[in-house]
């Protein structure tokens, strides 16, 4: 008969194996097209000239650079086709839970603000096209989030 502490140890071991298995499976689940697209993002520019950005966002760029380059090339998010706040939010949350990312809530918020602002400036045409493709209520929600970020740093 298992004692309570042995049961908890076994249970935690099983949970860890499941989590590791899911992580491996999710990496293998990428299609060839997704892998090719990621490879293309990785080949693009690795830095952004933020000298014209508000000072606080220049600081947040440093947080973004430091945290995001721990797990992948910085060129991946810089050159990705993500431009909407919803996309950045989802991406950052996913990265927060990656082992070793060390992205806490405070840094995640800074990275989010930087990426939303950057998309509104550097990827403006791509952002406008993405917004046009949304339903009116979704577009309004995304535009509101963009405005909140941009207005915060004026």
Q: Where are the domains of the chain?
A: 33-152
pLDDT at 7: 42
Each residue's pLDDT expressed in tens, for the chain with a length of 154 residues: 545 444 444 444 443 433 434 343 345 688 999 898 999 999 999 999 999 999 999 999 999 999 999 999 999 999 999 999 999 999 999 999 999 899 999 999 999 999 999 999 999 999 999 999 999 999 999 999 999 999 999 9
pLDDT at 11: 40
In order, the DSSP letters of 46-71 are: S----TTS-HHHHHHHHHHHHHHTTT
């Amino acid at each position: 008969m298992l004692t309570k502490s042995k049961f908890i140890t076994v249970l935690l071991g099983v949970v860890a194996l499941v989590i590791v298995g899911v992580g491996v499976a999710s990496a293998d689940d990428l299609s060839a097209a997704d892998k090719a697209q990621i490879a293309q993002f990785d080949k693009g520019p690795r830095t952004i000239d933020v000298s014209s950005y508000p000072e606080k966002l220049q600081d947040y760029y440093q947080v973004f650079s430091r945290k995001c380059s721990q797990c992948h090339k910085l060129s991946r998010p810089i050159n990705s086709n993500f431009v909407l706040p919803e996309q950045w939010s989802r991406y950052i949350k996913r990265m927060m839970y990656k082992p070793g990312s060390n992205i806490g809530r405070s840094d995640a918020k800074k990275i989010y603000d930087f990426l939303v602002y950057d998309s509104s400036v550097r990827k403006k045409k791509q952002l406008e096209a993405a917004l046009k493709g949304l339903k009116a209520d979704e577009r309004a929600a995304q535009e509101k989030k963009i405005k909140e970020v941009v207005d915060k740093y004026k």
